[in-house]
Homo-oligomer: A and B are copies of this chain.
Amino acid sequence: MSKTRSSSAGAAKLPELPRSIATIAAQHLEREIIEGRLDPGERLIEEEWAEKFGISRGTFREVLRILEAFKLVEIIPRRGAQVASVNRRDVEEIYILRKHLFQLAYMYATPNLNDDALRQFQAIVDDMECVAERGDAVEFTALSQKFDELVLDVADIARLRMLIEFLGKQTIRYRYMGFKIAGRIERSLAAHKRILAAFKAGDGERAGAAVYEIIEWAGKSILSAAFGDGPAEPVIPENGRAREESERPPRPSRRKVG
């Protein structure tokens, strides 16, 4: 539904340009990584995966390059590729940016809202309310994402969507943890109600502030859920400042087990 991104009206019917095999394979591997079926740091052996996808190594190499650009895999020259790992600091960073970017999206969306869009937002919030009673976290998250998607459609800044997607892909693994966080649904629902009200009032500032807050809260929750509490890793720079490679699997071991 949000896949084709043909949000509102039964819009466009682009010629649906054929996607290259590399792109398709990239999307598949991306899902594997994003949805956590592959562990961070896990090696991605070209021949192995090429065979899995039924493509040649050369083509799979393109796949790796694509995913490298999204920071989903790390390519170490002459040593191979591995699933990118995300440490605590990375998640902190991403959530800092995420909250600001969504704030922008919601702010820029507001003046573009029309009655039709407002109705759609209202419908989603209604659904949320319904789902919240059941306590269905998975479905609630889907609705929340639908809401965000629609906002991005309305904001109509293609690159803003790209930036958010770029960051989002790197944290979905962790966002799934959000399911279990106590009070998440209630908070999020309340936030969305506030946002909807702000939308109706044409108050972009307030809408933006509301997402900002809820994302900030979500970020903190996920951080403590995933990495335990404490104000970020102690981060004791060796010489002034050199976090960077602080935490990394010792080295991709050649054989899985032996």
Interface residues of A (CB under 8 A from B): 8-9, 11-12, 14, 17-20, 22-23, 58, 61-62, 65-66, 68-70, 75-78, 90, 93-94, 96-97, 100, 104, 108, 156-160, 163, 166-167, 239-242, 244-245
Contacts and interface: CB of A to CB of B under 8 A. Distances in A.
Contacts of A18: 77-78
Contacts of A96: 108, 157
A70 B69 CA distance: 8
A68 B1 CA distance: 26
B77 A17 contact: yes
**From A78, A90, A100, residue with most partner B Cβ within 10 Å:** A100
B239 A12 contact: yes
A69 B63 CA distance: 11
Contacts of A93: 157-160
Contact of A156 (B68, B239, B241): B241
A242 B12 CA distance: 7
Contacts of A97: 104, 157, 159-160, 163
A104 B100 contact: yes
Nearest to A153: B241
Contacts of A158: 93
Contacts of A66: 65, 68-69
A46 to B, nearest CB: 12
Nearest to A67: B69
A158 B239 CA distance: 18
Contacts of A100: 100, 104
Contact of A242 (B11, B17, B19): B11
A23 B61 CA distance: 13
A8 B242 CA distance: 11
Given A17-B76, A94-B159, A65 B11 contact: no
Given A61-B62, A159-B97, A75 B240 contact: no
A97 B155 CA distance: 12
A209 to B, nearest CB: 15
**From A8, A65, A70, A76, residue with most partner B Cβ within 10 Å:** A65
Contacts of A14: 244-245
User: A-B pairs with the 8 shortest C-beta distances?
Assistant: A69-B69, A65-B65, A9-B240, A20-B77, A62-B65, A12-B242, A58-B58, A18-B77
